[in-house]
Structure 1
Amino acid sequence: MKRASLAVMTVLAGVGAGVARRLLARSRQAGAKEDRWLVVTVNCPPERLSELPEPLALLDEVETRVAAAPGDRGTELAARIAWPRSPGIVGRLAGADSRQAVRTALRDAKSLLETGEVLRPDSPPTTRPTTRGKIVEFVTRRASGEGRL
């Protein structure tokens, strides 16, 4: 009986140490994520981007970089926050994360440069104000600030 409980305690201690290690690694990487460049490839020559597109020009405290895309496939337009500060999960859900604004501005700039207009989903997404419709509207509104570029 003592051996079994000792074995269980050893396994639990190992699992606990692994979880703690993973959580510490995530917290260290969070700072590195906040200041990394967000990049989109735009289908236009780099010379066309002598001035920043309006969505990016309107943002404060943002560093930008323009470079030719590899393989002569357009232009890489990159942006990052000059002084990153993380608002946490609650801030992200409330829309107070400055990285979300940079993501949205990059998507809008790409759309503007490639099509001449910023494409938006149909509004309203549903015809009746139901609970599901409100959820769809919220998700649609928040989607441009999340995900991959």
Structure 2
Amino acid sequence: MRRAVFGAMALGGGGIGAMRWYTARRTRARAGRQGARWLTVTINRRPEEVVPDGRLPEPLARLGDTIEVQVREAPGDRGTELGARPVLQAPTGVDQVLARLGGEDPRQAVRRALRESKCLIETGEVLRPEPLGPRRPVPAGRTADLAARRGGEGRP
């Protein structure tokens, strides 16, 4: 009897897992047909200051027609939400991992442009971290260096 109960539980758990996988797959496929998801930053300024006369901030304007942009007031009177998404279909699966490692994922450029736009609008300049001093070349340090280069944070 115990075997039957555990067998039924395992079968039910497997069925639930399969259903979740199938539902997630359909949701991702549907989202892929509608385009990439919006990447958004909240800027502590009024919408008129974020896009004066309808002109995008320079980091976003550099991307030109490769992105869609939306500007709206943030909920609770907390500034402005500036959102952007790439027009081109982003890679998925293994191609996505390879594109991100190679620095060719279009979402990385949009993220960087949004981050730079926020800094530029709020402070008047694009803030960059100061380079770290000399370090011992250990595997963790190499991994951190690679991540900083890919993210654009380690560049002067």
CA contact (8 A) 1:81 1:99 kept: yes
Q: Provide the residue aligned with 1:56 in structure 2.
A: 60
Alpha-carbon deviation of 1:142?
4.5
Consecutive unaligned residues of structure 1, counting only runs of 5 or more, are none
- Name the count of aligned residue pairs: 143
Q: Secondary structure at the match of 2:147?
A: helix
In 2, the alpha carbon distance for the partners of 1:118 and 1:53 equals 12
1:108–1:118 CA contact under 8 A, matched in 2: yes
SS of 2:41 mapped into structure 1? strand
Matched, 1:43 2:44: yes
Q: Distance in 1 between matches of 2:4 and 2:107?
A: 48
1:125–1:133 contact (8 Å) kept in structure 2:
no
Between 1:117-126 and 1:38-47, the stretch displaced more is 117-126
CA distance in 1, matches of 2:133, 2:99: 23
- Structure 2: segments with no counterpart, 5+ residues: none
Q: Which amino acid aligns with 1:26?
A: A
Q: Which amino acid aligns with 1:80?
A: R
Tell me how far apart the structure 1 counterparts of residues 134 and 99 of structure 2 sit (CA, whole Å): 25
Q: Is the 8 A contact 1:42 1:76 kept in 2?
A: yes
CA positional deviation for 1:64 = 0.3
**Structure 2 counterpart SS, 1:40:** strand
CA RMSD between the two structures:
2.7
Q: How does 1:132-143 map to 2 (within 5 A)?
A: 132-142=140-150
Structure 1 length-normalised TM: 0.76
Identity of aligned residues (%): 43
Superposition pairs of residues 109-148 of structure 1, within 5 angstroms: 109-124=117-132, 126-142=134-150
Q: Could you give the per-residue CA deviations for residues 52-96 of structure 1, whole angstroms, max 9, x where no partner exists?
A: 112211224210012233344322211112243333252354133
